[in-house]
Amino acid sequence: DAAAPGKGKKCTLCTKILQQAQAMAGEDPDEEAVQAALGKVCRALGKRLGRVCKGLVKKFGDQISEALQNGDQPQDICMAIGLCKA
């Protein structure tokens, strides 16, 4: 498991990453826009968090991408992939 220990941190990080990616991808993004935005957000996080971010994207990329394209909320997406508790 690439992500840091502690559910709270993972949840916060996941939500932050997806909020930024959502903002960058713009209204009604396609898969390419979402993937590009996720890549940019991960690079902007620096080395350690960037690695966690890339791990998330690698593991849940399709799910995240689809959810963001559907306009789902970051918190809901993070709950759906099990990083946030309901």
pLDDT of residue 21: 97
Q: Is the dihedral of CA 36, 38, 43, 47 positive or negative?
A: negative
Task: Indicate the pLDDT class of residue 4, thresholds 50, 70 and 90.
Answer: very low
Fold of the domain spanning 6-81: NK-Lysin (1.10.225)
Of 57, 53, 60, 50, the residue nearest 80 (C-alpha):
60
pLDDT of residue 12: 93
What would the pLDDT profile of 21-59 be if each residue is shown by its tens digit?
999 999 899 999 999 999 999 999 999 999 999 999 999
What would the pLDDT profile of 69-86 be if each residue is shown by its tens digit?
999 999 999 999 999 987
Query: What residue spans define the domains of the chain?
Result: 6-81
H runs (alpha helix) in the chain = 7-25, 31-44, 47-69, 74-80
pTM of the full structure: 0.85
